[in-house]
């Protein structure tokens, strides 16, 4: 791991039992849907 690596904290509310990782990344705006 790089010593100068930046990290960020993103908070979100989980309304169900779980969310798939790819869906979570889309919901918090960290990636596009690709569609």
- Give pLDDT tens digits for 1-35: 556 677 888 888 888 899 899 888 888 888 887 76
In this predicted structure, what is the pLDDT of residue 12? 82
* Alpha-carbon distances, residue 16 vs 2, 4, 8, 20, 34 (angstroms): 35, 35, 24, 11, 24
The pTM of this model reads 0.53
In this predicted structure, what is the pLDDT of residue 4? 67
In this predicted structure, what is the pLDDT of residue 2? 58
């Amino acid at each position: 791991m790089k010593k100068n690596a930046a990290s960020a904290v993103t908070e979100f509310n989980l309304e169900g039992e779980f969310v798939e990782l790819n869906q979570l990344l889309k919901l918090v705006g960290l990636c596009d849907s690709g569609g």
